[in-house]
Each structure stands twice: as structure tokens, then as C-alpha cells.
Structure 1
């Protein structure tokens, strides 16, 4: 056995939890960047085509509340100059909350992926072997919070996307694949957090057992030393008597 293989490898629970986290993060990234949280039915010929968290697409759309005769056409960034006049309508408060939750979930999941990658590849080796339970614990917290934030995001969006004070003709619209990917990511992160929590509990229990063992050895060592000294004195006395 080589020296490189003497240290313990990452457990199966960690590998499974990390794998699910990576897959969930891929779905989250596609949902975050995808402009298809909601789209209109093609057969309705609606001026609204589709939208994501950061982009809207229209086809010669006239906003009723805009006093100038301007047509909004094509796909543009939600904070672009093109949509500046109607940004208050395109970006209500509840949609800003959805943006916040999804963005924070993406950042937390990325940080968790970095920690889990360090645990799996055992780098830096000494730090990971000593503080593996901390790495897994923080990974669990970040993945669980990401799942909770995504749940809030999809719940808020799903509960408000058919409001009549937002997009016109809401009955012409339907939730699309970017929204579905966010739901999948929320489920996968929740599942991954379960595996990471179980692994954290196991590692923490092993750590407590190791600390107790060290404490017992430290308490028993003086007594063992006294016994050795007593035996040595008895042997010396026996030699003197002989």
C-alpha cells in the first residue's frame, strides 16, 4: 500500500450528497440564466413571448400605461435602457424577491460545491482530515438553505405569475422549463442536504468518541506510570534482599 492511499477516503454518503448537489446546481444554473420561466402559448399570438429572471421578450408590444407610441420588440435585459420606462411594471416587488432568493441559492450552492470538492479530493489533506466534520456541516447548512430559498422562490413566483396587474392576458401564458428546473433544483438540494446531515452526524459522533478516548488515555496514563514505578521498586527490593 502506498503512502497516498493510507488516509481514509470520503464516505459514500458524502459522495452521494455531493453528486446530487452538483446535479442540482446544474439545474439551478440553467434556471437562473434561462429566459423561460414563463411563456405564452404560440397559437395565441400574444405580444408577450417569454421571460426569465433577467430578460423579457416581446413582439411589437405596446404598454397601455406608456404615454408615447412606442413598441417594445425583441429580447432585452430587464435592467436595460430599452425597458427603463416600464421597469416598474416588469419588475414588481415579488419578482425582485424571487431574484434575490435564486441568486443567494446559487451562490450558497457554489460555495458548498467548493467545500465538498475539497472533502472528496482530500485537499488540503491535513486540514480536511482534521476538520472534515466542519466542512460537511457547513456544506449541509448551505445546501439546505439553498433548498429553502428555492422553495420560497418557486412558491412566490407560482403564486403571483398569473396576477392581472403584471403581464397582460395571463390566461395566455404558462410556466415553462426554467421554472421547472428551479423546482427540480429545490428537490435535489433537499435530498442532498439529508445525506450531508447524516454524514455530519456520523463524523461528529466519531469526533466525540475520539475525544473521549483521548481523555480516558490521559486519565489512565498517570496510574499506569505509578504501577510501573511500583513494580520497578519491588523488583529492586527483591534484588537487594537476595
Structure 2
């Protein structure tokens, strides 16, 4: 009796739970990546600086003291917009560009992991997944683990450097906001999801021979049909 496609093993609980955590972590990372609330000023300080994210700054009637012309910066603008051209060097110190790079790479790796885990969960393409599931889970594990490491570096660097007095003026008026918090939560979720996906990869490595035999049974030798 040959194995039919309806007999293939389903994804393990470890992979299902790891996939759910990866999806939640990826959504939080996307929100942290896109939202301009990594650091924010206290409302009662009436600061000209309002809030910022990795790619956007918001000011209210702000005048940069080292710019020779009396230009006021007002509203929220993309950090690479023409509006911020004259103060871009001040807005983007080297350490912040490093944080941008780490978070961008983390986002790419997170969605790569989500795509791989999604293919494993729906078992498509079936024979490829059954044959190389240990390898796919291994790649997803590495993506999640590296994502967690990149986010750890990003939030550590940002949390340590955002109070510098040569960056946003009056740093005591500011506090780390919810976008930064989402990045921290995403880091932990990616770390936990990496653990569950690793357990799935190890199980599939042990059972790789059985999976290969199952795939072979899906394609019986047609030359033997009708012979005993």
C-alpha cells in the first residue's frame, strides 16, 4: 500500500507556535519601523521637538540654532525630505544610521522567516517541504535568531545614545515612546520563536529518513504494477 498525499504528516506544534510568535513579532517590528514614536517630548514641557521615528521627525516652530537663516521647521517630515536638507546631518548622526540599518535588516529577515514558515505550515510544495523541512526550519531559526540579535543591538544603541546633548536639544524633556517599546517586544518574541523553530528543525533532522521514505512511497515504481 502506497502513501497518498492525504497521509503526509502535519506541521508540528512547535512550528505552529513558533510561526504565530514570528507573525506577531513581525507585525510589531513593522509598526516600530514605520511609526515616528521612538522618542517623544513630554507634553507639559511645550518643547519645539515633538517626536521622531527612524524615518520621520516632527517639530513645532523649531529653529535650529546653528543655521544662519531664520527658518522655522514645522510639522512632520520624512528625514530625507527637502524640508530637512539643511539639518539632515544633525538629524542623522552615525549611530542612528546604524540603528536604521539593523532594524531594516531585521525586518527583511523577519518576513523571510515568516514566508518560509508559512510554506511549511501549508505544506507547499508538498514533496519539497517533506524532504527538506529540517533545512527550511533551520533557515527560519537562523532568520529569527539573527533578527533578535539585530534588534537587541538596535534598541541598545538607541537607548544609550538618544540622550546625547549634541543630538536633540534638551534631552531631559524626552522619553522613549511606544514605537521603541514595540521594537523591544519584537526582539523578545523573535527570540522565543527562534527557540520553538529550532526544536522543530531538530525533530525533523532526526526524522529526515522517514520523510524521504514517505516521499518515495508517493511515487511507486510503475514498472512493478501488475507483477507479484
List per-residue Cα deviations over 1:26-84 (Å, max 9, x = no partner): 10001000100000000000000000000000000000110111000000000000000
Distance in 2 of aligned mates of 1:177 and 1:4: 47
Counterpart in 2 of 1:92?
Answer: 93
Aligned with 1:110: secondary structure?
helix
Asked if residue 42 in structure 1 is aligned to residue 43 in structure 2, the reply is yes
C-alpha deviation, 1:207, in angstroms: 2.3
Counterpart in 1 of 2:73?
Answer: 72
Aligned with 2:207: secondary structure?
helix
What TM-score, normalized by structure 2, do the two folds share?
0.90
Aligned with 1:57: secondary structure?
strand
Output aligned runs, 1:132-171, within 5 Å: 132-171=133-172
List per-residue Cα deviations over 1:88-130 (Å, max 9, x = no partner): 0000000000000000000001011110000000000111011
RMSD of the TM alignment (CA)? 1.6
Gaps of 5+ in 2: 214-228
Distance in 1 of aligned mates of 2:6 and 2:93: 56
2:14–2:196 CA contact under 8 A, matched in 1: yes
Distance in 1 of aligned mates of 2:186 and 2:6: 35
Cα distance change, pair 38–131 in 1 and its aligned pair in 2 (3 A)? same
Query: Using CA pairs below 8 Å that are at least 6 residues apart, which structure has the higher relative contact order?
Result: 2
Counterpart in 1 of 2:105?
Answer: 104
What TM-score, normalized by structure 1, do the two folds share?
0.84
C-alpha deviation, 1:203, in angstroms: 1.1
More helix by share: 1
Cα distance change, pair 210–109 in 1 and its aligned pair in 2 (3 A)? closer
C-alpha deviation, 1:198, in angstroms: 1.3
